[in-house]
Structure 1
Amino acid sequence: MRVEAADPREHLSPAQMCVMGMIAAHSAEGGGAILSKRQMSMLSGYSDDAIKLAVRELKRKGYLTVESRFAEDGSRLSNRYRIVVPG
């Protein structure tokens, strides 16, 4: 799947910038970051709803890919987030 990089001039909200920073700080080389929205909320001080909105908008703008993850028993695990690098 090809993801087009976002326009670098597009405005990011403070919450979106914070989410990007947390994902960058927690990313393993090439593997992205595995964080729950609850963890991001606790680390940032933003509400759960603000984090959900920031992630949704970053994905829509092309800055993030989000991979849903599941345990063998089908229960949900924290998503994997990857920052999209232009080029």
Structure 2
Amino acid sequence: MRRAAKVDANQAEVVSALRKVGASVTPIHMVGSGCPDLLVGFRGRTVVMEVKDGAKPPSARKLTDDEAVWFGNWKGEAYVVETPEQAINYLMGRAA
């Protein structure tokens, strides 16, 4: 039996910030199999974002094995973010 996907403590803050700049955001963390946490639409683009809690130690922010495989196989825009600012920077096309 599959465990429920964990949601990082800062995910709601990241979602709120993205929506404030006009993005549409759908949480998809429950898909599992390494799929990222958020599906984000903005100005005709669709990106996926994996949210990691920057307050946790680096070892706790690493991608899981399933996430690493997913990111390695994905052919579209996909980002790992730790802060709302970082998520917005990626969305706006600025290096974070």
Do the two structures share a fold, i.e. TM-score over 0.5? no
TM-score by length of 2: 0.28
Which structure is richer in relative contact order (CA contacts within 8 A, separation 6 or more)? Answer: 1
